[in-house]
Chain A
Amino acid sequence: TMKKQTASESEEEEEEQGGLRWKEGLQQKASEAFLRQQKAAPNLRKLVYGSVVEADDSDDEEQELGGLFRVSRPQNSKKSQANGVDSSRFDPDASHNWDLEEMLNSIRDCFVTGKWEEDQD
């Protein structure tokens, strides 16, 4: 019985330790889980504001040749956008063909002539 007791005691101890162990690094685990979630579920907020896990994008623009000449690379997309046309116009989705009946049907309920929700009649 002594043996058993010690065994169970040690078990208990282990459990206790285990029970304590899950508390270790709780904050780190939570932040890891949060970052994992941010990575996995791309959402609009991330698209607009960028994510917390944003990779270091300090592009090494100041590349120099022989410490004298700076490499002038052709304008990449980001750069040309920086000097794009400042207009609030939002170009229409080119994949929408408004000659198709299918397309016309997709917005019928936006008009008073379309179907009404039951509670709004």
Chain B
Amino acid sequence: MASHGLAYDGCNFFRQRLVLSTLSGKRVKIKNIRSKDDNPGLRDFEASLIRLLDKVTNGSRIEINQTGTVLFYQPGLLFGGSVEHDCNLQRSVGYYLEALLMLAPFMKTSLKATLRGVTNDPTDPTVDMLKSTALPLMKKFGIDGEGFDLKVVKRGMAPGGGGEVVFTCPVRRTIRPVQLTDPAKIKRIRGVAYSVRVSPQMANRIVESARAVLNQFIPDIYIYTDHMKGANSGKSPGFGLTLVAETLNGSFLSAEMSSTPQGQGDPMLPEDLGRNCAKLLLEEVHRGGCVDSSNQSLALLLMTLGQQDVSKVLLGPLSPYTIEFLRHIRDFFQLMFKIEVQKPSEDERKGGDKVLMTGVGVGYSNINKTIK
């Protein structure tokens, strides 16, 4: 087994394994991919992700068996540069972008990725959410500068897609350790209510119902309405809402909801969507911490790859995805975090138990980066 690097079963946590393999340089073999399914093997969206990885790296070796149930991946060097990719429509751009966010700071040359496909769907974090939460989080680790941006050029709802985003990220040699132990209080709530190929009135109806819930807590709420038209509106109709709560020291908690994709179940009223999304944000506030639940693994990765110093981050309850990510970090980087539960005191009304993650970075330095 040692000669084959690490071995896993099944297609779940596919991105974690490939991303960590690429960063650590360890080979990975994934077996039994949907081997008992009526339609066995890798799906088109997974193949699309592999192709994207192949574009941003140099010299990767990928072997897939005939039925697609076994994948062998030997990572090459992270190259970066200008990349264009048509993301398979089975998953939204967020699925691909989550992997790119983890790899982008460690490329040889800074990345400019143009991704086309579905920008908003109910399964993955949307591009709007990643823009408003993942990017500010990465800035705390020292990844910032002029060329750090995620721009939504065209919006494309599921299932037709037709959206386009441009992600640019500078490269870093080392990652700064962080101490994010106090989330501080929420000072304002911002959001984007978007609609394409439906009446622009939909977005206004969403805003009104979401405000009704959130106004019970705080007056400073502003939800932008974003109605893209013509060539920028993609191929399918739909609408949705992304809400972000910002705290006094710049932590972001977010929640979002997209309308049911056309022809995939019961349609949703914009009022219901606004109200339910606002409640999801309350749930996220209840979970709390300095990082919202969908970015936990990104924060833990950057802690792992930091300089050899202690990093601390306060999180809400660990999501199942994060728990698996921690196990993968142990496999690829031999790092185990110290995990302490913090219970809120009795007279505090700050939601549920929090989890304090402490770890010493492995002192990863970007050997791909060219020295100027």
Contacts and interface: CB of A to CB of B under 8 A. Distances in A.
Given A86-B12, A98-B279, A107-B349, A112 B185 contact: yes
Contacts of A88: 98, 124-125, 294, 297, 319, 321
B217 A82 contact: no
B349 A89 contact: no
Interface stretch (A5-13, A17-25, A31-39, A41-49): A41-49
A44 B339 contact: yes
Interface in A100-121: 103-116
Contacts of B11: 82-83, 86
B12 A47 contact: no
A45 B338 contact: yes
B293 A90 contact: yes
A83 to B, nearest CB: 4
A30 B15 CA distance: 41
Interface residues of A, number: 37
B326 A49 contact: yes
Contacts of A104: 216-217, 282
A92 B321 CA distance: 14
Contacts of A106: 286, 349, 351
Contacts of B350: 107, 109-110
A83 B15 CA distance: 13
B13 interface: yes
Contact of A89 (B10, B36, B124, B330): B124
Interface string B175-186: 000000000011
Contacts of B346: none
A79 to B, nearest CB: 7
Contacts of A114: 185, 349
Interface string B90-134: 000001001000000000000000000000000111000000000
Task: Tell me the interface secondary structure of chain A in the complex.
Answer: loop
A44 B123 contact: no
A84 B16 CA distance: 14
A85 interface: yes
Interface string B1-17: 00000000111111100
B13 A86 contact: yes
Contacts of A27: none
Interface in A57-71: none
A75 interface: yes
Contact of A44 (B37, B186, B297, B318): B318
Given A108-B217, A112-B185, 15 more contacts: A48-B327, A79-B10, A82-B9, A83-B33, A86-B13, A89-B294, A90-B319, A90-B321, A98-B213, A103-B282, A104-B216, A109-B185, A109-B350, A110-B186, A115-B349
Interface of B: 9-15, 32-34, 36-37, 95, 98, 123-125, 185-187, 213, 216-219, 248, 279-280, 282-283, 285-286, 288, 293-294, 297, 318-323, 326-327, 330, 336, 338-341, 348-351, 355
Interface of A: 43-45, 47-49, 72, 75, 79, 81-90, 92-93, 96, 98, 103-116
